[in-house]
């Protein structure tokens, strides 16, 4: 699967309160959540983001709470994937479970600026910055996690396992 | 090859030889959600087509993050969770019972357990020598249904702490000091294992404070070997029979060893807006505070209020500083009343709030105004955490919080005692 979009760039420790503040956690409608995505650190994000755009950030993206609403808000607002130097672990599990692709590549993050266009091939982890004409490769996922991603998240994976046993 | 605590527990619970870097599918002993993450877990449970919970006696729904509910949407969320409890037989911890992690400590977690919760501070139960970690709603929905979950077995950092704390220094200062040293992502995906004579001498309450904040360095879990202190705590909770002695092997392999001399630590504060942005309380200068918040799964326990009451006895809060107190559980509140701490705090001008998360998460009870500054005993000071992105949160120990409530500015507790 090939993804392509323009880049929104952030720094280190973008936490789950920044991605979706707790005051919206009583909202269960993903579209409502998406309206408030990133609002405490970037008030213009929601108005400027287009479908398939890509968030690029440095280290520890998604740190903080276990709220699955965070990757859900990012996915629902239209972001196709997040590229970072590193991700917080609960955020990473949650993103896989709800089908938001994450890619780790320090080089891609260092050499990419806001507004650049990236093309991402999920299977190979190839990241191309078409604005700057540079190519990077993201860190590969462990095999077990790839199976989860390919199944479309934990719920689908579990359903398949249960029906395979059945 | 010897095993670390996390390798030992995951080997036992998976029936395999769990080694750092591998994947283990482990039996889950305790699984829970809270009222922020629970509704989504219920939706995913239904979506996956599950009808039954594997272990309803040790699956819990906690109403603590917005309790009592401040608005109709959250009240409806609470109704949904109550109904799920009726349908499946899982335990419901009602409004007013307290914070999930404290009740898990009092009533559920035991040495050697695997504890998973849809809340990042599930790591708190690592104090019992349990593999305790936070996950999202979907993971917990599946863990409740199947009674198992998957883990990437983490590498371990051993944190060796020796020496005696100076007067005015507490376990909270130690964990803030450590996070300041290694950073908010200093232990991402890793397990922390605490050892050394300072840890051996530390109370369960101190260990719970430290385990609670392991996630603030990115760690998957913060573990302590179980010992007589663990056993005594379990006996006091009426659960002495659940005690098991667990220790790492002498030849366990650690990715990194960090040594800390407890005697060199001073009262430490995390400045806005990250937990690793630490400084010494005495070096902060004149930081005026409009609110002090004492409570939470980090520092809302009986010993914490004992320290605060000791400092505030016969004193008054500063006229410009509100003092909010939220015991971590009904039992803590009850014990603090019996010990006279609550009366002392009331006399000092405190506002006593119901057991629960209270002001910590910014959905009710103590949301900050524009430009206001709060000194909190909680674990997280992210921008907007307490409900207003235009406000500032500092984190510190209950002693520093109590001293600061008197002076109205962030104060090293050694100044007032």
The 10s digit of each residue's pLDDT in B312-359 is 999 999 999 999 999 999 999 999 999 999 999 999 999 999 999 999
Note whether B5-261 and B268-415 share their fold: yes
Q: What CATH topology corresponds to B5-261?
A: Aconitase; domain 3 (3.30.499)
Sequence spans of domains, chain B: 5-261, 268-415
- Rounded CA-CA distance B329/B130 in Å is 21
Residue B245: both structure tokens together: 């002695």
With a cut of 70, say whether residue B304 has pLDDT above it. yes
- Rounded CA-CA distance B219/B297 in Å is 17
Q: What are phi and psi of B131, to 5 degrees?
A: -80, 100
pTM: 0.97
Confidence of residue B18 (pLDDT cuts 50, 70, 90): very high
pLDDT at B112: 98
| Rg of chain A over all Cα atoms, to the nearest angstrom | 16
How long a stretch of residues is chain B? 417
With a cut of 60, say whether residue A166 has pLDDT above it. no
Chain A interface mutation, best of B76, B84, B138, highest count of A Cβ atoms under 10 Å: B138
Question: Vertex B99, ends B331 and B54: CA angle to 5°?
Answer: 105
Residue B355: which residues within 8 A CB-CB, separation 6 or more? B96, B97, B98, B99, B326, B327, B328, B329, B330, B332, B333
Q: How many CB pairs under 8 A join A and B?
A: 129
Orientation angle between helical segments B204-212 and B302-312, nearest 10 degrees: 100
Characterise B311 by phi-psi region: left (phi > 0), alpha (psi -120 to 50), beta (else): alpha
Peptide bond into B68 cis (omega under 30): yes
Nearest CB to B387; choose among A23, A63, A159: A23
Instruction: Name the DSSP letter for residue B34.
Output: E
Complete edge-to-edge strand list for the sheet that includes strand B373-376: B278-280, B268-270, B392-395, B373-376, B291-295, B322-326, B351-352
Distance from CA of B78 to the nearest CA of A (A): 10
Number of H helices, E strands in chain B: 14, 18
What average pLDDT does this structure show over A117-142? 94
Residue A109: both structure tokens together: 């993050």
Characterise B80 by phi-psi region: left (phi > 0), alpha (psi -120 to 50), beta (else): alpha
What average pLDDT does this structure show over B19-46? 96
The 10s digit of each residue's pLDDT in B180-223 is 999 999 999 999 999 999 999 999 999 999 999 999 999 999 99
Determine contact, residues B96/B80, Cβ cutoff 8 Å: no
Determine contact, residues B159/B178, Cβ cutoff 8 Å: yes
- Give A67's contacts in chain B (Cβ within 8 Å): 36-37, 136
Q: Check A66 against B39: CB less than 8 A apart.
A: no
The 10s digit of each residue's pLDDT in A86-114 is 999 999 999 999 989 999 999 999 999 99
Q: Which CATH class is domain B268-415?
A: alpha beta
Q: What are phi and psi of B60, to 5 degrees?
A: -130, 140
Long-range contacts of B332-337 (CB under 8 A, 24+ apart): B332/B98, B332/B102, B332/B300, B332/B301, B332/B302, B332/B305, B333/B98, B335/B302, B336/B302, B336/B305
Residue B336: both structure tokens together: 């603090």
Residue B95 CA: distances (Å) to CA of B81, B99, B354: 12, 10, 9
pLDDT at A165: 64
CA B272 to mean position of chain CA atoms: 19
- Rounded CA-CA distance B326/B396 in Å is 16
Residue B150, strand partner residues: B25
Peptide bond into B273 cis (omega under 30): yes
Residue B67 CA: distances (Å) to CA of B62, B88, B146, B379: 10, 22, 29, 19
pLDDT at A151: 86
Q: Average pLDDT, whole number, for chain B? A: 97
Residue-by-residue DSSP string for A34-103: HTTTTTTT-TTHHHH--TT-EEEE-SSBTBS---THHHHHHHHTT--EEEES-B-HHHHHHHHHHT--EE
Residue B208: both structure tokens together: 């719970």
Distance from CA of A130 to the nearest CA of B (A): 31
- Rounded CA-CA distance A28/A40 in Å is 20
Orientation angle between helical segments B302-312 and B330-338, nearest 10 degrees: 40
- Rounded CA-CA distance B30/B28 in Å is 6
Q: Check B136 against A63: CB less than 8 A apart.
A: no
pLDDT at A51: 97
- Rounded CA-CA distance A161/B88 in Å is 22
Nearest CA in chain A to B69: A26
- Whether A160 and chain B come into contact, CB under 8 Å, resolves to no
What average pLDDT does this structure show over A67-71? 96
Q: Is the ipTM of this complex over 0.90?
A: yes
Q: Check A68 against B138: CB less than 8 A apart.
A: yes
């Amino acid at each position: 699967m090939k993804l392509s979009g323009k880049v929104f760039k952030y720094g280190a420790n973008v936490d789950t309160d920044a991605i979706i503040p707790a005051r919206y956690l009583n909202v269960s409608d993903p579209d409502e959540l998406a309206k408030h995505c990133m609002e405490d650190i970037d008030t213009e994000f929601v108005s400027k983001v287009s479908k398939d755009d890509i968030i690029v950030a440095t280290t520890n993206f998604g740190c903080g709470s276990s709220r699955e609403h965070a990757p859900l808000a990012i996915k629902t607002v239209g972001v196709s994937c997040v590229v970072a130097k590193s991700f917080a672990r609960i955020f990473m599990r949650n993103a896989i479970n709800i089908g938001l692709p994450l890619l780790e590549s320090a080089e891609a993050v260092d050499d990419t600026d806001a507004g650049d266009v990236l093309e991402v091939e999920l299977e190979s982890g190839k990241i191309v910055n078409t604005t700057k004409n540079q190519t990077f490769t993201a860190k590969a996922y462990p095999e077990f996690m790839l199976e989860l991603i390919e199944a479309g998240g934990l719920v689908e994976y579990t359903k398949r396992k249960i029906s395979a046993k059945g | 090859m010897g095993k670390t605590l996390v390798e030992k527990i995951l080997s036992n619970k998976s029936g395999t030889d769990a080694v750092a870097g591998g994947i283990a599918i482990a039996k889950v002993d305790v699984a829970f959600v809270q009222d922020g993450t629970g509704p989504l877990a219920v939706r995913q449970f239904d979506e996956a087509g599950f009808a039954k919970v594997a272990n309803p006696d040790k699956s819990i729904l906690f109403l603590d993050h917005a309790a009592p509910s401040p608005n109709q949407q959250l009240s409806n969320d609470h109704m949904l969770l109550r109904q799920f409890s009726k349908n499946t037989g899982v335990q419901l911890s009602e409004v007013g019972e307290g914070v999930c992690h404290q009740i898990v400590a009092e009533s559920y977690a035991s040495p050697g357990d695997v504890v998973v919760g849809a809340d990042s501070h599930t790591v708190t139960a690592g104090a019992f020598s349990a593999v305790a970690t936070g996950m999202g709603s979907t993971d917990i929905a599946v863990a409740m249904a199947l009674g198992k979950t998957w883990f990437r077995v983490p590498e371990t950092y051993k944190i060796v702490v020796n020496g005696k704390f100076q007067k005015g220094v507490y376990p909270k200062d130690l964990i803030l000091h450590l996070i300041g040293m290694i950073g908010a992502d200093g232990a991402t995906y890793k397990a922390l294992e605490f050892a050394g004579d300072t840890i051996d001498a530390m109370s369960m309450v101190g260990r719970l404070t430290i385990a609670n904040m392991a996630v603030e360095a990115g760690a998957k879990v913060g573990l302590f070997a179980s010992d007589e202190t663990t056993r005594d705590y379990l006996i006091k909770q009426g659960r002495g029979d659940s005690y098991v002695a667990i220790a790492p092997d002498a030849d366990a392999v650690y990715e990194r060893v960090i040594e800390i001399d407890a005697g060199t630590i001073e009262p430490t504060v995390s400045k806005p807006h990250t937990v690793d942005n630490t400084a010494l309380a005495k070096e902060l200068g004149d930081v005026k505070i409009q609110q002090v918040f004492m409570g939470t799964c980090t520092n809302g326990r009986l010993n914490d209020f004992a320290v605060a009451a000791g400092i505030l006895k016969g004193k008054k809060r500063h006229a410009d500083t509100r003092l909010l107190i939220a015991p971590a559980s009904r039992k803590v509140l009850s014990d603090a009343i019996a010990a006279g701490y609550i009366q002392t705090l009331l006399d000092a001008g405190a506002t006593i709030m119901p057991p629960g998360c209270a002001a910590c998460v910014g959905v009710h009870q103590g949301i900050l105004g524009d430009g206001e500054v709060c000194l909190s005993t909680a674990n997280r000071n992210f921008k907007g955490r307490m409900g207003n992105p235009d406000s500032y949160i500092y984190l510190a120990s209950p002693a520093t919080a109590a001293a600061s409530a008197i002076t109205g500015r962030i104060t090293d507790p050694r100044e007032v005692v």
